[in-house]
Amino acid sequence: MLPIAAALDDVGYGSLECWGGATFDACIRFLGEDPWLRLRELKKAMPKTPLQMLLRGQNLLGYRHYADDVVERFVERAVKNGMDVFRVFDAMNDPRNMKAALQAVRSHGAHAQGTLSYTTSPAHTLQTWLDLTEQLLETGVDSIAIKDMSGILTPMAAYELVSEIKKRYDVRLHLHCHATTGMAEMALLKAIEAGVDGVDTAISSMSATYGHPAT
């Protein structure tokens, strides 16, 4: 990653997601690397571009819940080592599991992005997402992300969801779609038409299928 970092830094991206999620575990388990060193080196190589990470709320980057003081300390260390934007989510869409992390991020001066983990079911209606958006805004966020990790967000559903959130709330809104089902490009296009503020893409060699639409 480091050889291309300077070129990426010159593009002018809103942010570059480069840490968190499974990458922290993979650094240690499979590569024998220090993930904290990786973060510092990437920040040094890309000083102009905000770095972004995926944070599993109360789970941090692990596979169980951690105490609030551990969450706060982890966030403090991540900011100190160069992280700028924290996309905080909970797999069950429980805002209680995002609250401590979001508050810690804001208390340390970084960008706290609350997340709607999109799915479909009889229980997941438009009102479900509007209610969660309102709860996240009450907690305190700098932006909201719609995270379509399964690639099941249809173009028209994307248009409706983005339109209704933007109509009701004055909040910066991002869309993250995986290309698993082939709908992601059109979902991003319809979301842009509806007024979404940012979309996630991937470099062409890593795009499509389980990745994101190409930049």
Domains and CATH numbers, the chain: 1-89 (no CATH), 118-215 (3.20.20.70)
For 95, 136, 138, 214, the CA distances from 131, given in Å and listed in that order, are 10, 9, 11, 32
Quickly state the pLDDT bin for 8 (edges 50, 70, 90). very high
For tokens 């290309």, the residue is: 179
* % pLDDT > 70, the chain: 100
Average pLDDT value for the chain: 98
State the average pLDDT over residues 122-128: 97
Mean pLDDT of all residues in 50-72? 98
pLDDT digits (tens, 9 = 90+) for 149-172: 999 999 999 999 999 999 999 999
pLDDT digits (tens, 9 = 90+) for 82-102: 999 999 999 999 999 999 999
C-alpha to C-alpha distance for 69 and 63, rounded to whole angstroms? 17
Measured distance CA(3)–CA(197) in Å, rounded? 30
- Section 114-125 average pLDDT: 98
pTM over 0.95: yes
Sheet with 85-88, strands from edge to edge, namely 16-20, 51-55, 85-88, 111-117, 143-148, 172-177, 198-199
